[in-house]
Amino acid sequence: MSTTIIGGKMVVARYVGGLEEQVLIRQLPLRLMPSYADSMGDPASSIALLCDRPVEWTDKLTPESVSEILTIGSEVNSSFFVAHVRAVRMQAALMADVASKSGLQKLP
């Protein structure tokens, strides 16, 4: 079960062994979006970033909690992440256009 709050959602993290804890799955600030993108494909790193916990903390989570945290983390951050990706692409296109108009060539 999760509860929406400002800046993220509270969820019950379940640990192997039966213990539980309320944790915040945070809405990441813009400065962490590159780290979030880099963590994709590494669930432990993504969860650690989303919950602001050390990566070793994720070793204690049940598979169900892993899935829930990743799903909710994606929901909480998807619109901002899409905006971030668009901004990065726009900046890259702008830099390429400026380089082209300046007679600069793309570096190898």
Residues in Cβ contact with 76 at an 8 Å cutoff, skipping those fewer than 6 apart: 8, 9, 25, 26, 27, 50
The model's pTM is: 0.74
Residue 101's pLDDT is 75
Residue range(s) defining the domain that contains residue 68? 2-77
Instruction: Decide if 82 is inside a domain.
Output: no
Instruction: Decide if 7 is inside a domain.
Output: yes
What does pLDDT average to over the chain? 85
| Total structural domains within the chain | 1
Cα 73 from Cα 61, distance rounded (Å): 15
Residue 5's pLDDT is 55
Instruction: Decide if 103 is inside a domain.
Output: no
Instruction: Decide if 55 is inside a domain.
Output: yes
Q: Kindly state the DSSP code that residue 14 receives in the 8-state scheme.
A: E
Instruction: Decide if 61 is inside a domain.
Output: yes
Residue 30's pLDDT is 82
Instruction: Decide if 33 is inside a domain.
Output: yes
Query: Running along the chain, 108 residues long, what does each successive block of 10 average in pLDDT?
Result: 70 97 94 91 97 98 98 88 67 72 64
Instruction: Decide if 86 is inside a domain.
Output: no
